Structure 1
Amino acid sequence: MTFYVYVAQQHAIRVDTSATVHFPCLITDQRPLPVHLAFRGITVSVGGRQVLQDVDGLVRPGQVLAVMGPSGCGKTTLLNALSGRLKLDSGQIFFNREPLCKRWKRKICYVLQQDIFFPDLTLRQTLEYTARLRLPDTMSHSQKMQYVDHIIDVLELGQCQDTIIGDYIKRGLSGGEKKRANIACELLTNPSLMLLDEPTSGLDSHAAHGLMTTLKRYAVSEGKTVVITLHQPSSQIFHLCDKLLLLCNGQTAYFGDTCKVVDFFSSVGLNIMPHYNPADFILEQVKGPPELRQRIINAAKEARKGKDYPAELQHDYHYISEKYNDHSNKILPATHGPYLEQDTLNAMEPDVRRLWMDTHSHASSSVSSETSDADCYFSWPTSFWTQFKVLSQRNFQEARPRMLSKLNWVQTVGLGFLAGLLWFQLERKEQALHDIQGWMFFSTTYWMLFAHFGALSSFPPEREVINKERQSGAYRLSAYYLAKMFGELPLTVSLPAVYHLISYPMLGVHSPMVFLTMLGFLLLNTIVAQSVGFFIGACCMDMQVSITISALYTLATQLFGGYLATNIPYWLTWMRYLSMVHYAYQNMQIVEFEEGLPIKCAPHSKYAICSELDYIPVSSIIESQGPCLPLWANTLVLLAFLLVFRVLGYIVLRYFRAPK
C-alpha cells in the first residue's frame, strides 16, 4: 500500500506504508473504534488572557493534523482543550459527532512535550509498570508483557530496552529514544486519538523524521487519529502531515490540506520561492508585521465560507444536540445530524474513506447505547489492590538505588563504627551518664535529619511523574500514597537498623530486649521524620522554600529535644511538645535506664536521691530534664505525629496540589 501527498501541485512525496503496524487485539475482542475529531469556534482564556479565539479543525481516522504557529500562539493550549484538560470559554468539540465526555477521554492519549520519567528505571521496566497499571485486570500478565514486546518492536526500541532512562546526572537514553519511550507509554492503551505536543523538539533531523514516519505509518495502518504540534519542521516532516492548522495570535491563519497551503498564501499575494521549505515560509509570514498577519487571518475567515470548507465545520451542520438530565446533569444522546455529502466522501483517500464509513456506520447504530449515563463516568482500568501492588514494587525498585546507594552504605557503616568507638563500653556510672545520653540524642537526631531531607529531596522530581500519570487516569492517588509508604518502608529502616546493629553493641548491650526496643523507637522516629518531609515536600513547590522550612523545624526539634537545653523559659516550654525528638529521646532513656543495668551514683552526686540509694532511678534522670510522659504516652504521641503528617500530606496532594 502506498500513500501519496501532493505538494503545491508539482511534486508528490511517497510514504511507504507497506510495513503495516498491526497491534494485537489484546485489550478488547474488537478493534478500537476509529475517532473522527471535529472542533469549531474554540475560544479559551488562561489567567484572564484570551489565548485561542474561534479556532476550527477537523481530522479523520488515518490522518495526521499538524498544528503550527510561532511560540505563544496557543498550540499547547489547543491540545489541552481537545484533551478535556482546559475549560472552553465557547466552542464545541465532537468525537464521532458526539460531544466530548469522560467516555471519550479514556480513548485519548496525550504525549507531553517534556519527557518525564523515573530516571533509575530501565525503558522496559517503565513500559512494564505502565502496562500493568493501565491495561485492564481482565488481561493476564503474559498478555500485557506480549503487548509491551510489540510496542517495543513497533517503535524500534529493542536495542535500548535495558538502558536506564537517565537524567542530567546519569547517562541513559538519547533524546530520540526518550521521545519514542514517551509515545510508547501512551500507545500501550491502544488509544483512538493521539495528541502529541512537539515530539520532534530537541531531535536531530534524522531522528525527527524517523519518529514522524513511524507515527504516520501507525495512523494509516491502524486507523488512528493524530493531532501533533510542530514548531519548525523540516520539509520532509511537513509533507508527512495530511492536514494543517496554522495559528497566529491565537486565531486561525489557515486550515486545510497541507498540500494546498502554498496556494492559499499565493492567493493573498505571498508567493514562495522555488526550493524553499513551505513550513519555514508560512511561519515567516505569520511572524511578519501586524498588517500582514491580519491580512492572512482575514483570508482564512473568508476561506471558511468557501464550498471546499469541510461540511462538519459549517454552522448549519448539526451534530448530536446536548440534552441534560435534570437529576444528573449528564449528557444524553439525542438526534443525529446528516452524513457527509457523497462528493466529499469520494474525495477521500480509499483507506481514510473506509475508516470513516466504518466509524459512522458503527456510531449510527450504537450511539444511543454508547453514550449512556454510566459511560460518562470514569472507571479505573485496574483495581485498587492491583494499583497498590504494582506501585509498591515500582516505588521500591525506583527508590532503592537512591536510598541504598554505595555512598550511603559507606556513610552508615563508617558512622556506626565511629559512634561505637567514641562511646565504647561506657561504664554504668553517673560520670558516663551524659555520654550515654549523647549517643541516644545523636542517633535520634541524625536519622531524623537523614530521613527528613531524603524524603524532601526525592519528592519534587517524583511529583512531576505522578502528576503526569494522574492526569492520564492511570491510578488512584490513595493507591499511590499508600504504596509509597509501604514500598519505601524497608528502604527507610535499613540504614538506621545497620547503624544501630554496629554502634549499640559497642556501647554495651546488657539485654537483647533493650536492644530491640531501642531499635524500634529509633526506627519509629525515623519514619515520623520522613512523614514530615513528605508533608513539607507536598506543600512547597519551591525546593529552596521547603529546605528553609525544614531547617527551621528540624533545628527547633533538636533544641527542644531535652538534651541541648534543659532550663527552657516557661513561655517556650510548649514547643517541646511539638518536638518528635523529645518523645523518642525520652523513650530511649526510659528503656535504657529502667530495663538495663542501673546507673551508679557518683561520690558527690547532683541527684538528691543518691543520699538514700546507691543508684539513680530513671524517674530522677528524666525529671531533671523537665516534665515527662510515661513510655506508652510518648509512643502514642509519636504514632499520632506519623498519622497526622501522612494524612495532611495526602490532603495537600488531593485537594491543593492536584494536577491541572
Structure 2
Amino acid sequence: MVESTSIHFPSILQQQRPLELVFRGVSVTLDKKKILHDVSGVVRPGEVLAVMGPSGCGKTTLLNALSGRIKIDSGSIRLNRENICKRLRKKICYVLQQDIFFPDLTLRQTLVYTALLRLPDSLSYADKIQHVDHIIDVLDLRRCQDTIIGDVLKRGLSGGEKKRANIACELLTNPSLMLLDEPTSGLDSYSAYSLMSKLKKYAEKERKTVVVTVHQPSSQIFYMFDKLLLLCNGQTAYFGDVKKVVDFFNDIGLPVTPHYNPADFILEQVKGSEEIKEKILAASKDARKLPDYPEELISDCVSATVNLCDKYIHNFDDRCHTNAKDEDDSGRSSWSDDTQSHASSTVSGTEDDGSWQWPTCFWTQFKVLSQRNFQEARPRMLSKLNWVQTVGLGLLAGLLWFQLERKEESLHDIQGWMFFSTTYWMLFALFGALASFPSEREVINKERLSGAYRLSAYYLAKMVGELPLTITLPTVYLLISYPMLGFHSPVVFLTLLGFLLLNTVVAQSVGFFVGASCMDLEVSITISALYTLATQLFGGYLATNIPSWLKWMQYLSMVHYAYQNMQIVEFSDGSPIQCSTTSKFTACKTNSHIPVQDILEAQGATLPLWANTLILLLFLLVFRVLGYVVLRYFRRPK
C-alpha cells in the first residue's frame, strides 16, 4: 500500500543531514513596495509549516526569499546555521503554483527525463529508473503514468494528478527542504486532502522539512500542519503550533465559533477591520516574549556576545548531527553531499563561487535533452494536419506545374515552383519555431532556475534533437512535387533538396532568435511577418528591377540566396532551356538554348554557388548565436 511505502535510496546517495530552517526578521521590498516586514519562523525536520493569509499578504514572496530566488532587505535565513548559498540551494526544491510541463510528454516520460537530468551521473540508469518507479508509487501515480500531461487543447492528466506530478518531479532529487506554493489550489476537497496527507506522511517518514502556502484549507487539512505562520499585511500575525492558534485568538477576545473551520475564522479576522488587524499584530509581538517562543527566533541571541551565539550554534549543530545519525540508523537516507562545509556566507543570499556543480556532465545533458526535444516536438511538428498539408501541397504544386517542358515559355513557371517552394518552407519553419517558443520558454525557465542543466546543452540539444523533424516534411514535399514536374536527374534532386533544407533550417534559426527576443507573441509575429515579407520581395522573383537605393536589402534576404542556388543547380546540371522564336534573351540570336548565366542575370543573381551557400551558412550561424546570447544574457529567468 502507498501509506506504508518508504523510500530506500541507493547506498551511494546517503549521509546528507536533514535541514532545520530558521528565518528571522525577514523583510523584502519589491518595486519600491514593502512586501514583508520582520517575518520569522522555524521548521524542523519532519514538520510541515503552513503559511496562510489573504491574497497579497506576501506568501509567495516569502517562499521566493526562503528559496534564495530574491534578495532580502534585512534579517537572516539559515539552514543548519548556514546562510542560503548555491550549495545549500541544491538541497531545496520549490514546487511552483503553476503546473508547467511539456503537454505532449507522458507523465512517465516527464519523470524519467527529469531523473536523468537532475540525478547525479554516479547513479546508473537502472537506479534512476528504479527511483522514478518508487516516486510514482509514493504519490499514487501508477495508473496515469502513461497519460500525456495535456493542456487546454489536449486532454491529459487531471488537476490533482498534475499537482502530484509537479511534486514528483521535485521529489526525485530527494530535497531536504520542500517549498510548495499553493499545492491545493484548483483541487476538489478529496484531491486536496489526499495530496496533503501524502506530503505529511512523506515529511514524517523521510524527516523532510516542508513549507507550504495555503489559502483556505479545510479543517482536516488545517490540523495536518505542525506549525502555522499567519501573515497580515506582510507581517507576522501568528507563529506557533497549529493546535494553539484557537487559544491565541480566544485570549485576545476573538473566540472561534464552535463547529466552525478555524482556518476560515482566522482568515476572516486578518481580513477584517484595521482595528482587529492591529490587535492581532500587537498580540503576535507580545507572544515573542512568552517562554515557549522558539529560542532560535529570539533577537537577544544575535545581540549577545559572539561566544554565547557560537555556543548556541554549536549545540544546534550537534543536535543536527544526532538527527542525521538517527536518520542513517533508521535506514532512511538522502542524496549524498560531498561538501559538508560549515562555512557560512556573510550576507544572506550570497553565492559561493566555485561551490556549484551541475548534477550531470555536459554530454549527459546534451544526450537527454536531445531525446526529450525530439519526443516533445514530434507530435507538434509531425502532426496529422501537417502531414495532410504537406502531401496535399506537394500534389497541388505537382499538378499545377505538371510535366513542364524545357522551353523558354515554361521558364517563368519553373522559377515560380522554385520560389514558391523556398518561401513556403521558410514561412513554415520560422513561424513553427516562433509558435513553440512561448510555452517551451516557461518550462526551460523553470528548469534553469532549478539548476538542472546548462543553457548551452539545452540550446545545442534543441538544434540537434529537432533537426530530423525539421527536414522531414520538406523532403516529403520535394519527393512528391519534383518528379511530377518532369525532372528526372537524381543529382539535381539531391542538390535542390540540400539547398531547400538549408534554407528551412536558416528560417528556423530566425524564428528561434525572434521568439527568444520578444516576450509578447503578437510582437514577435509582427516582426517575423515584416521580415519574411521583405525577404520575399527582395528574393529575386517578384521584383527584378530593384531601385539602386534599395538594392542592399536583397543581401539580407535568405530566400534570395537559396532561390538563386536552386536556379544555378537546375539550369546548369539539368536539361537546357530552349529558346523561343521571339526570345527576350540576346544570346538566343546565335544559340538554340538559353545560357545559364543569362537566366541568372535576368533574376538579379551576381554571386556563384559557393558564395550563396557560404552566406546561408553565415545566416545560420549568426542567428543561432544571437538566439543563445539573448537567452543567456537578456532573458535570464528571474
TM-score by length of 2: 0.94
The one-character-per-residue Cα deviations of 1:224-262 (angstroms, maximum 9, x if unpaired) are: 000000011000001000000001111111111111111
Distance 1:145 1:375 in 2: 33
Corresponding position of 1:212: 196
Distance change in 2, residues 1:466/1:479 (3 Å): same
Query: How much does 1:510 deviate?
Result: 3.9
1:181 counterpart = 2:165: yes
Mean alpha-carbon deviation: is it higher for 93-102 or for 228-237? 93-102
- Residue 612 of structure 1, aligned match among 573, 590, 596: 590
- Residue 105 of structure 1, aligned match among 82, 89, 106: 89
Mean alpha-carbon deviation: is it higher for 512-521 or for 289-298? 289-298
Distance 2:542 2:618 in 1: 25
1:225 counterpart = 2:209: yes
Q: Percent identity?
A: 71
Q: How does 1:550-629 map to 2 (within 5 A)?
A: 550-629=528-607
Distance change in 2, residues 1:289/1:89 (3 Å): same
The one-character-per-residue Cα deviations of 1:521-563 (angstroms, maximum 9, x if unpaired) are: 0000000000000111101111111111111111111111011
- The number of residues matched between the two structures is 621
- Residue 143 of structure 2, aligned match among 156, 159, 163: 159
- Which of the pair has the greater relative contact order for Cα pairs under 8 Å at 6+ separation? 2
3-state SS of paired residue (1:600): coil
Query: How much does 1:292 deviate?
Result: 1.4
Distance 1:359 1:45 in 2: 39
Mean alpha-carbon deviation: is it higher for 622-631 or for 510-519? 622-631
- Residue 487 of structure 2, aligned match among 509, 512, 521: 509
1:130 counterpart = 2:114: yes
Q: How does 1:250-399 map to 2 (within 5 A)?
A: 250-318=234-302, 335=310, 337-338=312-313, 355=323, 369-371=341-343, 377-399=355-377
Which AA in structure 2 matches 1:455? Answer: A
1:524 counterpart = 2:492: no
- Residue 449 of structure 2, aligned match among 462, 468, 471: 471
Distance 2:311 2:86 in 1: 20
Could you tell me whether the CA contact under 8 Å between 1:320 and 1:336 is conserved in 2? no
Could you tell me whether the CA contact under 8 Å between 1:319 and 1:337 is conserved in 2? no
3-state SS of paired residue (2:238): strand
Which AA in structure 2 matches 1:236? Answer: Q
Distance change in 2, residues 1:76/1:150 (3 Å): same
3-state SS of paired residue (1:537): helix
Distance 2:627 2:577 in 1: 42
Structure 2: segments with no counterpart, 5+ residues: 346-351
Could you tell me whether the CA contact under 8 Å between 2:230 and 2:239 is conserved in 1? yes
The one-character-per-residue Cα deviations of 1:310-331 (angstroms, maximum 9, x if unpaired) are: 0001112259999xxxxxxxxx
Mean alpha-carbon deviation: is it higher for 305-314 or for 169-178? 305-314
- Residue 400 of structure 2, aligned match among 422, 434, 440: 422
3-state SS of paired residue (2:406): coil
Could you tell me whether the CA contact under 8 Å between 1:103 and 1:375 is conserved in 2? no
Distance 1:580 1:298 in 2: 69
Corresponding position of 1:114: 98
- Residue 68 of structure 1, aligned match among 48, 52, 61: 52
Distance 2:305 2:576 in 1: 84
The one-character-per-residue Cα deviations of 1:579-622 (angstroms, maximum 9, x if unpaired) are: 10000000000111111111111111111121222211111111
Could you tell me whether the CA contact under 8 Å between 2:26 and 2:36 is conserved in 1? yes
Corresponding position of 2:349: none
3-state SS of paired residue (1:67): strand
Distance 1:190 1:161 in 2: 20
Could you tell me whether the CA contact under 8 Å between 2:15 and 2:328 is conserved in 1? no
Distance 1:210 1:651 in 2: 44
1:77 counterpart = 2:43: no
Distance 1:643 1:367 in 2: 40
Could you tell me whether the CA contact under 8 Å between 2:81 and 2:313 is conserved in 1? no
Mean alpha-carbon deviation: is it higher for 440-449 or for 370-379? 370-379
Could you tell me whether the CA contact under 8 Å between 1:510 and 1:597 is conserved in 2? no
1:149 counterpart = 2:133: yes
Query: How much does 1:375 deviate?
Result: 8.7
1:24 counterpart = 2:8: yes
Distance 1:190 1:440 in 2: 56
Which AA in structure 2 matches 1:528? Answer: V
The one-character-per-residue Cα deviations of 1:85-136 (angstroms, maximum 9, x if unpaired) are: 0011111001011111111100001000000001111101100000000011
Distance 1:623 1:393 in 2: 46
Which AA in structure 2 matches 1:559? Answer: L
* RMSD, aligned α-carbons: 2.4
Corresponding position of 2:25: 41
Could you tell me whether the CA contact under 8 Å between 1:262 and 1:272 is conserved in 2? yes
1:249 counterpart = 2:224: no
Query: How much does 1:22 deviate?
Result: 2.1
1:445 counterpart = 2:409: no
Distance 1:623 1:259 in 2: 87
Distance 2:117 2:371 in 1: 12
Could you tell me whether the CA contact under 8 Å between 2:2 and 2:140 is conserved in 1? no
TM-score by length of 1: 0.91
3-state SS of paired residue (2:260): coil
Query: How much does 1:26 deviate?
Result: 2.3
3-state SS of paired residue (2:434): helix
Which AA in structure 1 matches 2:426? Answer: M
Distance 1:356 1:387 in 2: 32
Could you tell me whether the CA contact under 8 Å between 2:82 and 2:344 is conserved in 1? no
Corresponding position of 1:203: 187
Which AA in structure 2 matches 1:556? Answer: A
3-state SS of paired residue (1:156): coil
3-state SS of paired residue (2:312): coil
The one-character-per-residue Cα deviations of 1:467-497 (angstroms, maximum 9, x if unpaired) are: 1111111111100000000000000000000
Corresponding position of 1:56: 40
Distance change in 2, residues 1:586/1:651 (3 Å): same
Query: How much does 1:623 deviate?
Result: 1.0
Could you tell me whether the CA contact under 8 Å between 2:50 and 2:211 is conserved in 1? yes
Which AA in structure 2 matches 1:281? Answer: F
Could you tell me whether the CA contact under 8 Å between 2:81 and 2:344 is conserved in 1? no
Distance 2:103 2:508 in 1: 22
Query: How much does 1:367 deviate?
Result: 9.5
Q: How does 1:634-645 map to 2 (within 5 A)?
A: 634-645=612-623
Which AA in structure 1 matches 2:279? Answer: R
Which AA in structure 2 matches 1:46? Answer: L
Query: How much does 1:360 deviate?
Result: 14
The one-character-per-residue Cα deviations of 1:195-217 (angstroms, maximum 9, x if unpaired) are: 00000000000010010000000
Structure 1: segments with no counterpart, 5+ residues: 1-16, 323-333, 346-351
- Residue 411 of structure 2, aligned match among 395, 420, 433: 433
1:647 counterpart = 2:625: yes
